Amino acid sequence: MAQCAANKNTFLAKPFTLLIFGGSGDLSQRKLLPSLFHLFQQKLIKRFSILALGRREFSDDAYRKLMKKALREFADFKFTAQELNDFLRFLHYQVVDINNADSYKALCERTTLLAKNDKERNLLYYLAVSPKSAEQIIKGLAKRSLCRQEKNAKIIMEKPFGRDEKSAARLNAFILQEFDEHQVYRIDHYLGKETVQNILFLRFANTIFEPLWNHEHIANVQITVAEQLGVENRAQFYEQAGVMRDIVQNHIMQLISLVAMEPPVGFAADYIRDEKVKLLRSLRPMTRAEIIKNSVIAQYSGGVIAGKKVPAYRREHGIARDSTVPTYFAGKFYIDNWRWEGVPFYVRTGKRMAQRATEIVIEFKQPPQQLFGKECAGLKPNALILTIQPTEEIKLCFSVKYPGPENRPHVEKMQFNYQDVFHTVSLSAYERLLIDAMRSDLTLFTRADEVEILWSIIDPLIKVWERRRNYQLPQYKAGSWGPSVADLLLERDGFKWQIR
Question: CA 26, CA 15: separation in Å to the nearest integer?
Answer: 26
Are β-strands 91-95 and 48-54 bridged in parallel, bridged antiparallel, or unpaired? parallel
Of these, 229, 268, 306, 425, which contacts ligand BG6 (CB under 6 A)?
Answer: 229
Least distance to ligand BG6, CB of residue 255, Å: 11
Least distance to ligand BG6, CB of residue 349, Å: 9
Give backbone dihedrals phi and psi of 5, rounded to 5 degrees, phi first: -75, 145
Least distance to ligand BG6, CB of residue 234, Å: 7
Q: Output the residue with the shortest Cβ distance to ligand BG6.
A: 246
User: Closer CB to ligand BG6, residue 246 or residue 450?
Assistant: 246
Q: Report the SS3 class of residue 65.
A: helix
With contacts defined by CB under 6 A, how many residues of the chain interact with ligand BG6?
Answer: 5
Query: What are the start-end ranges of the E strands in 270-341?
Result: 295-301, 303-305, 308-310, 328-333
Other CB atoms within 10 Å distance of the CB of residue 40: 19
Q: Report the SS3 class of residue 287.
A: coil
Give backbone dihedrals phi and psi of 97, rounded to 5 degrees, phi first: -110, 110
- Map the footprint of ligand BG6 across residues 236-255, applying CB under 6 A: 246
- Map the footprint of ligand BG6 across residues 339-378, applying CB under 6 A: 358
Residue 356's Cβ-count burial label (10 Å; 0-12, 13-18, 19+) is middle
User: Closer CB to ligand BG6, residue 111 or residue 224?
Assistant: 224
Helix (H) or strand (E) holding 63: helix 60-74
Catalytic: which of 251, 317, 410, 423?
Answer: 251
Quick check: 227 binds ligand BG6 (CB under 6 A)?
Answer: yes
Residue 257 backbone zone (phi > 0: left; psi -120 to 50: alpha; other: beta) = alpha
User: Closer CB to ligand BG6, residue 273 or residue 351?
Assistant: 351
User: Closer CB to ligand BG6, residue 115 or residue 433?
Assistant: 433
Active site residue 251: yes
Residues 372-411 vs ligand BG6: string with x where CB under 6 A?
A: -----------------x----------------------
Query: What are the start-end ranges of the E strands in 140-284?
Result: 154-157, 184-186, 218-226
CA neighbor of 154 nearest in space, from 20, 341, 333: 20
Question: CA 109, CA 117: separation in Å to the nearest integer?
Answer: 15
Least distance to ligand BG6, CB of residue 402, Å: 37
CB 344 within 8 A of CB 493: yes
Least distance to ligand BG6, CB of residue 310, Å: 15
Quick check: 431 binds ligand BG6 (CB under 6 A)?
Answer: no
Least distance to ligand BG6, CB of residue 499, Å: 15
User: Closer CB to ligand BG6, residue 51 or residue 171?
Assistant: 171
Least distance to ligand BG6, CB of residue 143, Å: 31
User: Closer CB to ligand BG6, residue 227 or residue 239?
Assistant: 227
User: Closer CB to ligand BG6, residue 229 or residue 414?
Assistant: 229
- Map the footprint of ligand BG6 across residues 19-48, applying CB under 6 A: none
Residues sharing a CB contact under 8 Å with residue 460, sequence separation 6 or more, in sequence order: 285, 286, 288, 291
- Residue ranges in contact with ligand BG6 by CB under 6 A: 227, 229, 246, 358, 389
- Catalytically annotated residues: 251
